[in-house]
Amino acid sequence: MYTLPSKLRLFSIIFIVIGALLFGMGYMSTPSTTAEVKEMMAAHHDDGHGGETHDSSHDTKSTDQHEETATSHGEGSHDSEEAHLEHTLHQMQNRPWSALYIASFFFFMIALGTLAFYAIQHAAQAGWSPVLFRVMEGITAYLPWASAIIIILLLLSVFHVNHIFHWMDPELIDPNSDHYDKLIDGKKGWLNSTGFLIRAVIYLLGFNLYRHFSRKWQQNHDNAEDNRWFKRNFKLSAGFLVFFIYTESMMSWDWIMSFDPHWFSTLFGWYVFAGMMVCAVTVIAMVTIVLKAQGYLEYVNDSHIHDLAKFMFGFSIFWTYLWFSQFMLIWYSNIPEEVTYFVTRIEDYNLPFFGMLAMNFIFPVLLLMNSDYKRVNWFVILTGIVILAGHYIDVFNMVMPGTVGKSWFIGLPEIGSLLFFFGLFVLIVFTALTKAPLLAKRNPFIKESKHFHY
């Protein structure tokens, strides 16, 4: 049985506390009036090199331009300046909520991707992976917690505590309103709060029910005298994968793509899936290596790590293929309502946009192309850290432009959210590993897995 080291528990709790404090400080420093926004812009302008927001110099220039225009053209331009300040205020108020959402979704998708990978192993009756089943089950233990957090954040959006989902504004579908949006009104059959929440409950209920029964039946099989639990798990896993591949796409539309309600991509669900899977396999490899370093998982050898690293490499290539397919076709066709998605990110998020491409493609290819490197634990850990950081930035790029626009920055809310969820994830996962033996001893393929050699 695995025993949670006291230092690891303390490490996790410290991250949770520090993360909560940093997020709280960032949230409290959010401006509440346009006057505060104007003061912040003036202060950053005096500094001469930006500040709280990546785009502060741009905002200051815009404000200065509004002020000059107001002097020349009177009251109408003053109204325009106030509208600009009001828009910036909404963006700044969205920023801590967006940071919280990004971090919560990122660790949620790691747990969900691991669950899908676990189901694939059962449905494929894979012979190499049963010695890793308990590691996968430990990572998926975070899923119920992540699901509860996600549903709370979605409810806060539906009840207008935050406004990160722009399409939830009722004025946008009111033909009598000055803010009426014909495109969003045309999508209200799907993008409405009631359907949004019902679908979220269906997704999360399906994911968590599969996790509950599959884990329970797998552990029942350890003490059984026949293979009935194994056969049940095989059928359940095959059925779950059908459910998952449909709901994952719809979940991606609802929870990520709808931040840009005027834009859509038919590849988007697959794109999110690819990022989810590479992060999941990366975390499985990293947790496995950590447990091996602590003296556990004696049957896991270099060939298991090699196979996990191959999946890291393969899913990185798959993600890049989908990124390129989505980007190049939209860019080449140059249809305004489609290309605006990438123009916004290239102009306002240039460094994170191209930076995450290098981290998610170039770096894994260079480090994991060689077969021998896939067996070197510290090489896999190093590559894994870069991959996870790159895909975190990818989620950042998918969410922030539609919620905070140009008023983005890596500051207290972003760092605090990341530290909080990282600490919570580590604490829950490694605590779950103490609940059952680290070897699924009666799996029909366990002997093959123990002696697996590539």
Query: 3: burial class by Cβ within 10 Å (0-12, 13-18, 19+)?
Result: exposed
**Who wins on pLDDT, 53 or 181?**
181
Cα-to-chain-centroid distance, residue 15 = 19
Identify the CA nearest to 192 among candidates 164, 162, 170, 161: 170
pLDDT per residue over 431-447, tens digit each? Answer: 999 999 999 888 899 99
Give the CA distances from residue 409 to residues 92, 100, 301, 434, in Å, rounded to whole numbers and listed in that order. Answer: 10, 14, 42, 39
Q: How many residues does the chain have?
A: 454
Question: What span, in angstroms and rounded, lies between the C-alpha atoms of 145 and 161?
Answer: 21
pLDDT at 52: 41
Question: What span, in angstroms and rounded, lies between the C-alpha atoms of 210 and 213?
Answer: 5
Identify the CA nearest to 418 among candidates 154, 147, 107: 107
Show the tokens assigned to 56. Answer: 């502060």
The answer to whether residue 65 scores a pLDDT higher than 90 is no
Number of helices (H) and strands (E), helices first, in the chain? 17, 0
pLDDT at 76: 55
Alpha helices for 129-226 (secondary structure H): 133-140, 142-158, 182-186, 193-222
Question: What span, in angstroms and rounded, lies between the C-alpha atoms of 94 and 157?
Answer: 11
Q: Are 263 and 170 in contact (CB under 8 A)?
A: no
The answer to whether residue 394 scores a pLDDT higher than 90 is yes
**Who wins on pLDDT, 366 or 11?**
11
Question: What span, in angstroms and rounded, lies between the C-alpha atoms of 100 and 26?
Answer: 11
pLDDT at 56: 37
- Cα torsion 269, 110, 379, 303: sign: negative
Share of the chain above pLDDT 70, in %: 92
For residue 411, give the 3-state DSSP assignment. Answer: coil
Question: What span, in angstroms and rounded, lies between the C-alpha atoms of 394 and 356?
Answer: 6
Show the tokens assigned to 341. Answer: 């998605």
**Who wins on pLDDT, 88 or 330?**
330
The answer to whether residue 170 scores a pLDDT higher than 50 is yes
pLDDT per residue over 357-377, tens digit each? Answer: 999 999 888 888 888 888 889
Give the CA distances from residue 183 to residues 74, 165, 446, in Å, rounded to whole numbers and listed in that order. Answer: 34, 15, 55
Query: 35: burial class by Cβ within 10 Å (0-12, 13-18, 19+)?
Result: exposed
Q: Are 319 and 335 in contact (CB under 8 A)?
A: no
pLDDT at 432: 96
The answer to whether residue 289 scores a pLDDT higher than 90 is yes
What confidence category does residue 306 fall into, taking pLDDT thresholds of 50, 70 and 90?
very high
Question: What is the phi/psi pair of residue 437, to 5°?
Answer: -55, 150
**Who wins on pLDDT, 209 or 179?**
209
Q: Are 320 and 340 in contact (CB under 8 A)?
A: no
pLDDT at 51: 38
Question: What is the phi/psi pair of residue 427, to 5°?
Answer: -60, -50
What confidence category does residue 236 fall into, taking pLDDT thresholds of 50, 70 and 90?
very high
What is the residue-averaged pLDDT of the chain?
A: 89
Question: What span, in angstroms and rounded, lies between the C-alpha atoms of 133 and 221?
Answer: 13
pLDDT per residue over 24-33, tens digit each? Answer: 999 998 887 8
Contacts of 333 (CB under 8 A, 6+ apart): 339
Q: pTM for the whole thing?
A: 0.90
Identify the CA nearest to 367 among candidates 322, 324, 310: 310
Q: How many CB atoms lie within 10 A of CB 4?
A: 14
Give the CA distances from residue 60 to residues 53, 63, 83, 93, 408, in Å, rounded to whole numbers and listed in that order. Answer: 11, 5, 14, 18, 14
